């Protein structure tokens, strides 16, 4: 199995992280909100999803799932999932990519060559057309040794 990171542990990210850990992967969930991290570490979700707390408790008990506010914990992951929010910009018909941009910047210093092939960055956030291409260019420029591929 692989080491994975999930950046952003709201509804989408936390559920994804727990499910990937249940499948046998080593997963580190990276979240900027320390209160959310504390809840998740205790086996309680910061949102309502029937049955999720039980899944979370089980995934944590396996030792394959951890949550942190420390970006360095994602180092060595083969696949990074960006699962941050993209709210609508105030007064505009456009997505606010502030959190996506922050996730990429937090990830860049911790990307590096991996013995098992390229490092893969997966965008799971809802973004406008062209965002993946822009992120791929930033990954290539910011971590040239990473051999990162964006899906």
* Whole-number average pLDDT of the chain: 90
Q: What residue numbers bound the domain in which 48 lies?
A: 1-151
Structural domains in the chain (count) = 1
CATH number at residue 124: 3.40.50.720
Within 10 angstroms of residue 34's Cβ, the number of other Cβ atoms is: 10
Nearest to 15 by CA among 61, 42, 63, 55: 55
Q: What distances in angstroms separate CA 22 from CA 39, 52, 60, 122, one per listed residue?
A: 19, 12, 9, 19
- Best-predicted range by mean pLDDT among 68-72, 78-82, 113-117, 145-149? 68-72
Tokens for 138? 């930033």
Residue-wise pLDDT for 48-82, tens only, equals 999 999 999 999 999 999 999 999 999 999 999 99
pLDDT band at 136 (very low <50, low <70, confident <90, very high): confident
- Crossing angle of helices 131-142 and 98-107, in 10° steps, is 30
Beta strands in 62-150 (DSSP E): 65-68, 79-82, 120-123, 149-150
Torsion sign (Cα): 88, 68, 124, 49: negative
pLDDT band at 148 (very low <50, low <70, confident <90, very high): low
């Amino acid at each position: 199995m692989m080491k994975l990171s999930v950046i952003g542990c709201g509804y989408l990210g936390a559920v994804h992280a727990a499910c990937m850990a249940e499948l046998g992967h080593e997963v580190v969930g990276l979240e900027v909100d320390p209160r959310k991290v504390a809840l998740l570490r205790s086996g309680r979700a910061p949102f309502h999803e029937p049955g999720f707390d039980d899944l979370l408790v089980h995934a944590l008990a396996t030792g394959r799932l951890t949550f942190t506010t420390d970006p360095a914990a994602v180092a060595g992951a083969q696949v990074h999932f960006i699962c941050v929010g993209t709210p609508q910009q105030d007064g505009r018909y456009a997505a606010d990519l502030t959190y996506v941009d922050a996730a990429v910047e937090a990830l860049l210093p911790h990307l590096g060559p991996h013995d098992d092939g390229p490092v893969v960055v997966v965008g799971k956030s809802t973004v406008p057309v062209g965002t993946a291409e822009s992120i791929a260019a930033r990954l290539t420029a910011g971590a040239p040794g990473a051999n990162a591929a964006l899906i």
